């Protein structure tokens, strides 16, 4: 009987990165402190460089990342039946991600994102096609990962907990933008079924409708059911809470090229470590090393570490450890 170490579930995107000229402005609302990317209205905006990357997206990145780290990995996604979709399928095959559960949408095109890259930060314009999701008959797996889905994701959310229970599967969950907009009430059943719940600080505050310090946010989210809650906070590092100890780990020093996919890389390393029998603290190290590697490349996939590279980083940086706070 077929068995996987890891099955990822979510949408696949085709990202086009547009590197904006340096004279582009960043405007900040003095009251809300929200920053806006300023471009001149009704004008042609110069772009220094563009990079096209198919077969990305939260769950796609994690599927490929876990495969590179040596896990037997499969991916459930719905691809558009167009040139881009066929190209994406080839990428998954090349990355040794099992395509058993890839479904073709004969009526709709591939998902698309335009990523505006400016001074190392990115602003993403996202288009999700409306897919008809339905959980395939998945083989048993040690781990499942659930992330970004478009409209209609609720059907999968209702099906996944029973699969986890039937096969004794642990799950990592990182809600995407459409899932976040649905709110805590709709996410609660899947959160309760999760072994690890990943969000960044802003997402945690949005879900809880509360501004608070990270320790408080961790504990409030933990009460909703996940066994482990992880909150990433960009260049300030990451935090994890397993119900007893709050751990903090700073970012690993690395030159910043572009930030897309750093959160997915962290989730990849974290879950791959747990799947390999490592502790939560060691999982934070794997996640941080992977994130730092992706930070040094354009796009979410290029810097995802191979197992040998991860092993070397772990071995050569023994003093880089999380601390209890």
Which residues are identified as catalytic?
Answer: 264
CA distances from 133 to 2, 90, 101, 179, 191 (A): 23, 22, 12, 14, 19
Burial 192-228 (b: 16+ CB within 10 A, else e): ebbbbbbbbbebbbebbeeeeebeebbeebbebebeb
Burial 276-295 (b: 16+ CB within 10 A, else e): bebebbbbbbbbbbbbbbbb
The residues pairing with 51 across neighbouring beta strands, listed in sequence order, are 17
d(CA 23, CA 20) in angstroms, rounded, equals 8
The full DSSP string for 84-110 is HHHHHHHHHHHTT-B-TTEEEESSS--
Which residues, 6 or more positions from 308, have their beta carbon under 8 angstroms from its beta carbon? Answer: none
Q: Considering Cα of 88, then 146, then 102, then 308, what sign does the dihedral take?
A: positive
Q: Considering Cα of 216, then 221, then 226, then 228, what sign does the dihedral take?
A: negative
Contact 324, 245 (CB under 8 A): yes
Which residues, 6 or more positions from 236, have their beta carbon under 8 angstroms from its beta carbon? Answer: 250, 251
* Spacing of C-alpha 232 from chain mean position: 11
d(CA 170, CA 193) in angstroms, rounded, equals 8
CA distances from 227 to 67, 215, 216, 279, 280 (A): 24, 15, 16, 13, 11
Sole residue written with tokens 């096969």: 167
């Amino acid at each position: 009987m077929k068995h996987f170490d890891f099955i990822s579930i979510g949408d696949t995107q085709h990202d086009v990165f547009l590197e904006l000229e340096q004279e582009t402005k960043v405007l900040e609302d003095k009251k809300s402190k929200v920053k806006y990317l300023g471009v001149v209205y009704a004008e042609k905006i110069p772009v220094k460089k563009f990079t096209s990357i198919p077969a990305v997206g939260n769950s796609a990145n994690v599927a490929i990342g876990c495969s590179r780290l040596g896990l037997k990995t499969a991916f459930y996604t719905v691809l558009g039946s167009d040139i881009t979709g066929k190209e994406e399928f080839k990428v998954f095959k090349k990355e040794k991600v099992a395509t058993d559960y890839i479904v073709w949408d004969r009526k709709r095109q591939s998902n698309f994102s335009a990523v505006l890259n400016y001074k190392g930060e990115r602003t993403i314009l996202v288009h999700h096609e409306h897919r008809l999701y339905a959980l395939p008959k998945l083989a048993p797996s040690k781990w499942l990962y659930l992330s970004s889905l478009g409209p209609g994701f609720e059907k999968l959310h209702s099906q996944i907990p029973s699969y986890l229970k039937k096969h004794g599967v642990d799950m990592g969950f990182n809600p995407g933008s459409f899932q976040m907009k649905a709110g805590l009430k709709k996410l609660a059943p899947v959160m309760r079924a999760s072994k690890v719940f990943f969000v960044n600080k802003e997402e945690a505050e949005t879900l809880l409708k509360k501004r608070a310090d990270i320790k408080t946010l961790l504990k409030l989210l933990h009460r909703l059911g996940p066994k482990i809650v992880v909150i990433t906070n960009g260049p300030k590092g990451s935090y994890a809470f397993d119900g007893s100890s709050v751990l903090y780990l700073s970012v690993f020093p690395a030159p910043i090229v572009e930030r897309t996919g750093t959160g997915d890389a962290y989730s990849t390393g974290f879950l791959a470590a747990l799947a390999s029998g490592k502790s939560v603290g060691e999982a934070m190290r794997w996640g941080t090393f992977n994130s730092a590697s992706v930070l040094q490349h354009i796009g979410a996939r290029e810097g995802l570490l191979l197992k040998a590279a991860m092993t070397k980083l772990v071995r050569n940086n023994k003093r880089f450890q999380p601390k209890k706070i």
